[in-house]
Amino acid sequence: MNRILALLAIVLLIVSCGKKYNYTISGKIDGGAGKTVYLNLLLTSSQKTIDSVKMDQAGEFNLKGQVSSPTFFLLKLSDGNFATLLLDSTEHATITGSYKHFASDYRVTGSDNSEKVRELTFGYAKAKSKMDSIRLLYKKHQYDAGYQGELERMDKEYLKLANDYSAYVNDFVKRNPFSMASVYALYQKWDENNYVANDFQAMKTAASALNAVYPKNDQVKAMYSNAINILKGQKNAQFNSLMNEKAVNSPEIKLPDASGVTQSLWSLHGKCVLLHFWSAKDRTCRIQNQVLAELYAKYKHKGFEIYMVSVDDDKSAWTAAIAEDHLTWINVGDMKGSIQALISFNIHEIPSNYLLDKAGNIVAKNLQGPSLNSTLAKML
């Protein structure tokens, strides 16, 4: 089990509430000896410094704190010279770089979401720099006689750079609907009036997904409101139609069951579905199976189904647990950790679950026992 979870940077065990700190940021900054590094909490429309530390003679530093959900920070050396981090509980992020060029050369390990934010930051900066250079050159020669052919080439190159990076961001949001890094992606702009992401269905799906999982997160609430306002601002029939559609915020999963038959999560639309991630070798999961069996017997005739995803790599242990625990619902796994499913649903620990309504939309996360029973009773 530990070997499987180690394959994913995002699959981290949540520490107990009794601990004072649940994340750490350490690093080494070349040329930073004796200088101060600041940790700023990034709010919806401002930021505030919550911690700082002076680097030692080797440029090394260590910061720690506590968060209850993924949170954006700025690790700041000076104005304009900072790295954006996205930290969840139990993450131990390591940051390296140079003091002079920190914003453009920093590296991060130990925090999957922070690595995704870095990827987005550097990708945007690269595309924007090239586009700005083309625009300046175009402006310089736009009235030059005999330069028309070159201007047309620059137009095409500029458009291709914009379209290629927008396509990357659209794909990023589709692949990471439950990652808070998608909030960062959706706020990237070419200018004051034009967002990089231009796939409005992907935007609405990600906004809906994150709002379902982190309904109390201020940045998610602001992003959700912003996404809806953008969609409302569109005037043509296609976008008006999109506004009236309810986005399905659960990604598709297609994995084989114990008999080798591929089972699709989306094929269960029309039923209330508990999407449950587990391992046959985990004691807590096995205990929960007993409760799930009781609930399944109680509600299956009312339109309730369980789609259980195994993160195991031992088929014998998996099939034995299915038989021993009398798991009569859909049970799937690729016996390689079902890693893509874990990534798609941003799973940090097992057991974990999502409750989906009949349209396939997530309505709750990690309900157990009485809470799951009462919610199912209301829905069915």
Mean of pLDDT values over 27-36: 96
Count CB neighbours of 45 within 10 A. Answer: 7
Name the strand (E) or helix (H) holding 29. strand 23-30
Higher pLDDT, residue 17 or 318: 318
Mean of pLDDT values over 15-32: 73
**Residue 369 to residue 355: CA distance in whole angstroms:** 13
Give the model confidence (pLDDT) of 96-146 as tens digits.
Answer: 999 999 999 999 999 989 999 999 999 999 999 999 999 999 988 888 888
What is the residue-averaged pLDDT of the chain? 85
- The owner of tokens 């060029």 is 101
Identify whether the C-beta of residue 173 lies closer than 8 Å to the C-beta of residue 186. yes
**Residue 364 to residue 354: CA distance in whole angstroms:** 6
**Which own/partner pairs from 102-108 qualify as long-range (CB within 8 Å, at least 24 positions apart)?**
102/29, 102/77, 108/83
Residue 87 has pLDDT above 60, yes or no: yes
Look at 70-84, 97-111, 210-224, 304-318 and tell me which has the smallest mean pLDDT: 210-224
Which residues lie closer than 8 Å to 33 by C-beta, 6 or more apart? 55, 56, 57, 58, 59
- The owner of tokens 């390591």 is 94
- The owner of tokens 């040329």 is 31
Tokens of 236: 């043509």
Give the model confidence (pLDDT) of 248-266 as tens digits.
Answer: 567 889 999 999 999 999 9
Four-CA torsion 158, 203, 117, 14, nearest 10 degrees: -170
pLDDT at site 2: 41
**Residue 231 to residue 200: CA distance in whole angstroms:** 7
Complete DSSP assignment for 144-189:
-TT-HHHHHHHHHHHHHHHHHHHHHHHHHHHH-TT-THHHHHHT-E
pLDDT at site 231: 60
β pairing state of 262-264 and 254-256: antiparallel
Residue 15 has pLDDT above 50, yes or no: no
- The owner of tokens 């912003």 is 226
Residue 58 has pLDDT above 50, yes or no: yes
- The owner of tokens 């974990």 is 352
Phi first, then psi: what are they for 194, rounded to 5°?
Answer: -130, 115
Residue 1 has pLDDT above 70, yes or no: no
Question: Helices in the chain by DSSP H: which ranges?
Answer: 2-6, 102-105, 112-141, 148-175, 181-186, 200-213, 218-232, 237-244, 283-299, 315-324, 339-344, 369-379
Which residues lie closer than 8 Å to 96 by C-beta, 6 or more apart? 27, 28, 29, 106, 107
Mean of pLDDT values over 345-365: 87
Residue 19 has pLDDT above 60, yes or no: no
Residue 4 has pLDDT above 80, yes or no: no
Q: State percent of the chain over pLDDT 70.
A: 88
**Residue 59 to residue 57: CA distance in whole angstroms:** 5
Give the model confidence (pLDDT) of 264-286 as tens digits.
Answer: 999 999 999 999 999 999 999 99
Domains and CATH numbers, the chain: 19-110 (2.60.40.10), 117-244 (no CATH), 254-379 (3.40.30.10)
pLDDT at site 222: 79
- CA atoms lying within 13 Å on the CB side of residue 332: 20
pLDDT at site 88: 86
Complete DSSP assignment for 343-366:
HHTT--SSSEEEEE-TTS-EEEES
Task: State the DSSP code for 257.
Answer: B
